[in-house]
């Protein structure tokens, strides 16, 4: 079942990419007490993710924070080292990378995709959420191959 507006974020272990190295975090603790603009990409360094998705959140970070977002986070079914390298090359300190290396978060929110036709295996779908104190206020799931409703621009219109 796919997570919906009003649902609580499931409690799974994610790995935060930090300058000091990977740090395990529980999603229930990470999302508690703050408003988070969360976006999910099928994979770091992939074309749409690198050309549009991450850059949009980097560019609009100040605007999102001005509208009450405490933190901007990106998740992908990649390891923390890959997400950390991607953030160093194309991201910013304004975006927290949350690695979902085993796909447990994507599975728990019901938003997985099968990318095996492209050699990617099981991944998380492209989506975005506004999560307030662990509860989903908005959710935007892209149709396969699309990049519209999960963008930073679309999210700004929802805040």
pTM: 0.93
pLDDT at 3 over 90: yes
DSSP letter at 117 equals: G
Q: What is the pLDDT of residue 144?
A: 84
Please give the average per-residue pLDDT across 114-133, as a whole number.
Answer: 83
Q: What confidence tens digit (pLDDT) does each residue in 143-153 have?
A: 988 889 999 99
Q: What confidence tens digit (pLDDT) does each residue in 31-61 have?
A: 999 999 999 999 888 777 777 889 999 999 9
Q: What confidence tens digit (pLDDT) does each residue in 72-105 have?
A: 999 999 999 999 998 988 878 999 999 999 999 9
Closest CA to 94 of 72, 123, 74, 121: 72
pLDDT band for position 118 (50/70/90)? confident
List of domains in the chain:
13-158 (3.40.30.10)
User: What distance in Å separates the CA atoms of residue 158 and residue 83, rounded to the nearest whole number?
Assistant: 27
Distances, alpha carbon 122 to alpha carbons 21, 43, 44, 118, 148, in Å: 25, 11, 14, 11, 22
pLDDT at 157 over 70: yes
Closest CA to 78 of 50, 47, 95, 100: 100
Which residue of the set 3, 36, 37, 49 is catalytic?
A: 49
Annotation marks residue 74 as catalytic: no
Question: Can you tell me whether residue 60 is helix, strand or coil?
Answer: coil
Q: Where are the beta strands (DSSP E) in 27-120?
A: 35-40, 71-76, 95-99, 112-114
């Amino acid at each position: 079942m796919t997570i919906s507006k009003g649902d609580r974020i499931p409690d799974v272990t994610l790995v935060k990419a930090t300058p000091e190295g990977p740090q395990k975090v529980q999603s229930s603790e990470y999302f508690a007490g703050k408003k988070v603009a969360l976006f999910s990409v099928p994979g770091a360094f992939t074309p749409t993710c690198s050309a549009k998705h991450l850059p949009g959140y980097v560019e609009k970070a100040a605007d999102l924070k001005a509208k009450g977002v405490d933190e901007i986070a990106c998740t992908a079914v990649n390891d923390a080292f890959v997400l950390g390298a991607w953030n160093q090359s194309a991201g910013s300190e304004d975006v927290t990378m949350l690695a979902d290396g085993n796909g447990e978060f994507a599975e728990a929110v019901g938003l997985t995709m099968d990318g095996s036709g492209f050699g990617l295996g099981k991944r998380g779908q492209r989506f975005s959420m506004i999560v307030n104190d662990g509860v989903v206020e908005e959710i935007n799931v892209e149709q396969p191959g699309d990049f519209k409703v999960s963008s930073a621009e679309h999210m700004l219109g929802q805040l």
